[in-house]
Structure 1
Amino acid sequence: MKRQKRDRLERAQAREYQAGLNGRSNEVCPYQGVDARTNWLGGWRDAREEIQTGLYK
């Protein structure tokens, strides 16, 4: 059975989530498209919120 690739927008959000956890700036977004950039920044915001609430140090 073939594995199905995740959606590009989902990957963008997951990558920025990890970048946000690692303390990277949201200004270094590698995506030019509006949808991918929106998801990328959404992942960054989610990670920063979790850091602020104390889920990660």
Structure 2
Amino acid sequence: MKRQKRDRLDRAQSRGYQAGITGRSKEMCPYQMLDARSHWLGGWRQAMEDRSVTA
């Protein structure tokens, strides 16, 4: 069970990262549950940092 939950959260973070790299708004987060949403936003923030460093 823990592995499945971790995989889901890892997937949320990677999807957030992809959304951030492509320039999507953080309001486009598809997750409602707090854990998944926070992981998605964490990935999105990381992508924004990566974009600002390379730009």
> TM-score surpassing 0.5?
yes
Q: 1 or 2, which has the higher helix percentage?
A: 2
Query: Can you give the 5+ residue segments of structure 2 that lack an aligned partner in the other structure?
Result: none
Structure 1 residue runs of 5 or longer lacking an equivalent are none
Query: For the residues of structure 1 that align with 2:45 and 2:11, how far apart are their CA atoms?
Result: 15
What pairs with 1:28-47 in structure 2 (closer than 5 Å)? 28-47=28-47
TM-score (norm 1): 0.82
Number of aligned residues = 51
Structure 1 Cα separation of the partners of residues 25 and 35 of structure 2: 19
What is the TM-score of this pair, normalised by structure 2?
A: 0.85
Paired-residue identity, %: 61
Residue matched to 2:52: 52
Q: Which aligned segments of 4 or more residues in structure 1 are displaced greater than 3 angstroms?
A: none
For residue 30 of structure 1, give the secondary structure of its aligned residue in structure 2: coil
Larger Rg belongs to = 1
Task: Give me the whole-angstrom Cα distance separating, in 1, the residues matched to 2:31 and 2:49.
Answer: 22
